Amino acid sequence: MRLGAHLSIAQGLPQAVLMAKRIGANTFQYFTRNPRGGRARQIGETEIKEWLEERARNDIYPVVAHLPYTVNLAAPPGKLRDFAASVLQEDLERVKLIGGEYIVTHPGRHKGDAAEALTRLAAIIQENVLEGQEHGPMLLLETMAGQTGELGSLDELRQVLDLLDWPPQVGICLDSAHLFAAGWNLKSSAGCDDLVAALEDKFGLERIKVFHLNDSLAPLGSNRDRHACIGEGELGEEGISAIINHPFLGSLPMILETTVEKYEDYGKEIARVLSLCRQRAEEI
Task: Say whether 237 counts as a known binding-site residue.
Answer: no
Consult the annotation and say whether 257 binds a ligand: yes
Contact yes or no for 173/210 (Cβ under 8 A)? yes
Element (H, E) at 172: strand 170-175
Q: How many residues does the chain have?
A: 284
DSSP letter (8 states) at residue 131: S
- Consult the annotation and say whether 212 binds a ligand: yes
CATH topology of domain 3-283: TIM Barrel (3.20.20)
Name the 3-class secondary structure at 264.
helix
Please name the residue ranges forming H helices in the chain. 13-22, 45-58, 79-97, 114-125, 154-164, 176-181, 189-202, 236-244, 266-283
Backbone angles phi, psi at 87, to 5 degrees: -65, -45
Residue type, 107: P
Strand partners, 254: 3, 211
What letters, b where the CB count within 10 A reaches 16 and e where it falls short, cover 86-123? ebbbebbebbeebebbbbbbbbbbbeeebeebbebbbb
Establish whether the linkage from the previous residue to 14 is cis, with ω within 30° of 0.
no
For the chain, the domains span: 3-283
Q: What is the pLDDT along the chain (284 residues), one digit of tens a residue?
A: 999 999 999 999 999 999 999 999 999 999 999 887 678 889 999 999 999 999 999 999 999 999 999 999 999 999 999 999 999 999 999 999 999 999 999 999 999 999 999 999 999 999 999 986 667 899 999 999 999 999 999 999 999 999 999 999 999 999 999 999 999 999 999 999 999 999 999 999 999 999 999 999 999 999 999 999 999 999 999 999 999 999 999 999 999 999 999 999 999 999 999 999 977 666 65
CA 233 to chain centre: 20
User: End-to-end distance of the chain based on CA atoms, in angstroms?
Assistant: 18
The Cα-based distances of 276 to 67, 78, 230 in angstroms read 31, 48, 10
Does the annotation list 142 as a binding residue?
yes
* Of residues 25, 175, 171, 56, the one with CA closest to residue 102: 171
Is 106 known as a binding-site position?
Answer: yes
127 assigned to a ligand binding site:
no
With 0-12 CB in 10 A as exposed, 13-18 as middle and 19+ as buried, what is 59? exposed
**Residue 265 is assigned to a ligand binding site:** no
